Amino acid sequence: MKKILISAMALLFLVLSCKNADKSRFQVKLSYTNGDKMVTPQTIGKSNGWIFLEEIVYGKSQLPLIVDSQKISGASGNLNFQGKSQTQGIFELVFGDNVLAIPLINDGTEIQIEADLSKTKDFYTVTGSPASKQLQDLLAKVGERNSDIQTAFFQLDSLKKFNAPDSVLVAANNKKNAAVDQLNDYLRQFIQTTPNATLGVLALGWASRSFQPDQMETALKGLKTRFPGNAFLAEMEKNSQQQPEQQPSASGSWVGKTVPELVMADPNGKDVTISSFKGKFVLIDFWASWCGPCRMENPNVVKAYNEFKGKNFTILGVSLDKDKDSWKKAIAQDHLSWTQMSDLKYWNSQAVETFGFQGIPYNVLVDPSGKVIAESLRGEDLDAKLKQVLN
């Protein structure tokens, strides 16, 4: 399910600049049972104890953006996830190392999920978000029709390998075409009737793999007529009129721009500024003690710091914490020996307002002149980029 969502979004969704609209907040309230049964032999040793709220976006890596995370505690429990987005979009609750995933649309301010983590199918219900319920139904029906298409393709391929008579191949090919037509008919009907623009765009993303160009154009025009002024649809139309090499990169990137100033206090109360690091390569790392993915990424950041700190390179940690003691404890536990600063305002931090990111971990790499030369570097990508620029 996760791959289907990401591929559809990667085809058509562009991230709009966060300066274009106000960010809206929402929360996802999860009530789960059988949390102890979610772990399988294949997931032992992985991040199976965490649940992540992720936003599916389009970018150069096409990776989901982690917005919030909580750790499972006990066989059953209730967890709250905080999210915010300047537009309505696709999110997912991801359980463990992709053991389970629940797709969501942020059309409500309080989305409630009940999940039985011992199951892999029909394991959740959703209320407080009509679009998320419609998305659940859409996934099920598209999945059924995709399965029919895959079966038909497999049968046709097998018959070809065994040199079946032409009459048999023609019948199998007709069956395959009928399965594709059934999917297209369903998607066309859904696109024409859905009351939600985000769902319409997502369905059009799936349809782009089987619709003819004129069918895509008709469907897109129909959505634009029903949802005038929708930014995603406008971007899709502009994209469809451009050659692939002319498509713009995701907006909102800091690469190539001068890093903005921030002034915050370190754990001892002394003011720290970004501008004071001018003359060095500096990785500005946005994180928090409560952020599970950040804490899991910290060993990679520590490794990079220890390897390159003697080469005119340093790190500035900017925390979205709200409790000073938790922040200081995490710094000590994770062995973060570089400069840290925070205004202890959680998602109301000036860092969020200035840099416009919507999830952490997030970072920008700044050169000695103060220009951002890379962003969102994690794991091996961070090591490779530092080796490139510091040699």
**Tens digit of each residue's pLDDT, the chain (391 residues):** 444 444 444 444 433 322 333 447 899 999 999 888 775 444 433 445 789 999 886 543 456 788 999 988 888 999 999 998 878 888 999 887 667 889 999 999 999 999 998 887 889 999 999 999 999 999 899 888 888 887 887 787 778 778 888 888 888 888 888 988 999 999 999 999 999 998 998 888 778 767 877 888 899 999 999 999 877 788 777 666 543 332 223 335 788 899 999 999 999 999 999 999 999 999 999 999 888 778 878 888 999 999 999 899 999 999 999 889 989 999 998 899 999 999 999 888 999 889 988 778 899 999 999 999 999 898 788 989 999 998 7
For the stretch 61-108, pLDDT in tens is 456 788 999 988 888 999 999 998 878 888 999 887 667 889 999 999
| Chain centre to alpha carbon of residue 215 | 29
How confident is the model at residue 48, as a pLDDT? 53
E-assigned strands of the chain? 24-33, 50-55, 65-71, 77-85, 90-95, 100-105, 110-116, 124-127, 263-265, 271-273, 281-287, 313-319, 339-342, 362-366, 372-375
Q: Where are the alpha helices (DSSP H) in 102-196?
A: 130-161, 166-193
How confident is the model at residue 249, as a pLDDT? 31
Decide: 295 and 320 in contact? Cβ < 8 Å.
Answer: no
| Chain centre to alpha carbon of residue 288 | 18
Helix/strand/coil for 379: coil
Q: What is the pTM of this model?
A: 0.55
How confident is the model at residue 239, as a pLDDT? 61
As given in the structure block, the two tokens for residue 195 are 């009351």
Backbone phi and psi for residue 144, each to the nearest 5 degrees, phi listed first: -60, -45
How confident is the model at residue 387, as a pLDDT? 92
Element (H, E) at 348: none
**Other CB atoms within 10 Å distance of the CB of residue 271:** 10
How confident is the model at residue 176, as a pLDDT? 83
Decide: 107 and 83 in contact? Cβ < 8 Å.
Answer: no
Long-range contacts of 384-390 (CB under 8 A, 24+ apart): 386/281, 386/304, 386/307, 386/308, 386/313, 389/281, 389/365, 390/281, 390/308, 390/311, 390/312, 390/313
How confident is the model at residue 170, as a pLDDT? 86
How confident is the model at residue 341, as a pLDDT? 97
